[in-house]
Copies of this chain bind each other. A is one copy, B any other.
Amino acid sequence: MDEVSRKTFLLFGDSLTQRSFDEGGWGGRLASAYQRKADVIARGYSGYNTRWAAYTLEKIFTKGHVPPDLVTIFFGANDAALPDRLNGRQHVPIEEYVAHLRAFVEHIRSVGTKHIILITPPPVDETVRVQENQQKVGGEQEAAMLPERTNAVAGEYAKAVKQLGEELGIPVVDLWSNIQMQPLWQACLSDGLHFTSTGNAAVYHLVQAKINEALPHLRPDALSMDFPGHADIDASSPDSAFKGTAIS
């Protein structure tokens, strides 16, 4: 859109990405950390698994267009829904999930994006999920007595992401493990699945730490601001700071 030398970070995922600009969200926190340095843009699709997201890929990452400098790929919370429970329609078997992630990485690299971060699904608070399901379909229904996602299964999907990252040489944010290391990790989740402000802060800090460690040239302090800081402008002769002329 413009000639300003900003990076573009694109967040690709499900509702955990779609909602990442809600108050306290990890996308907004990233945008704040990268103000005047990178535009942070969400391509998050609530309820989507990787099978459905595969349909969006070529339209989001289009050959011949300017590619994002960094892409986060964050799916699995829906793929890991159990096939024989509520939300079974979202289930994608783990082998197919990994195959889709692999195809996403391949395609995103093919359009010219050099840096990708994989994010594992977060843990699941099964007790709260059952409460949520009971509210949704009524407490007596058999389907609502069991969680539609389990923490153990989410952990298997997370493990598969870690393996894929190692295989492809892509940094992985292991949300599933790291969030559970926090005391009272359940406070990171609002409905057992989506993030509270605390959870969003954790996601942001984990993603930022991964950038800092694995992609140090994309650290916020490694990038320069677009246009001079105002204190560097000589008020009596602003031309010199901007090395150009003003429109007037």
What is A's interface to B at a CB cutoff of 8 Å?
1-4, 8, 10, 18-19, 21-25, 27-29, 31-32, 35-36, 39-48, 51-52, 54-62, 65-68, 78, 89-90, 99-100, 103-104, 107, 227, 229-231, 233, 235, 238, 242, 244-248
Contacts and interface: CB of A to CB of B under 8 A. Distances in A.
Given A47-B229, A47-B230, A230-B47, A2 B59 contact: yes
A227 B45 contact: yes
A99 to B, nearest CB: 7
Nearest to A22: B32
Given A23-B28, A103-B247, A238-B51, A18 B1 contact: no
Given A3-B65, A31-B31, 17 more contacts: A1-B67, A1-B68, A2-B60, A18-B35, A21-B28, A21-B31, A21-B35, A22-B32, A23-B23, A35-B44, A39-B41, A55-B227, A55-B238, A55-B242, A55-B244, A55-B247, A56-B242
B32 A36 contact: no
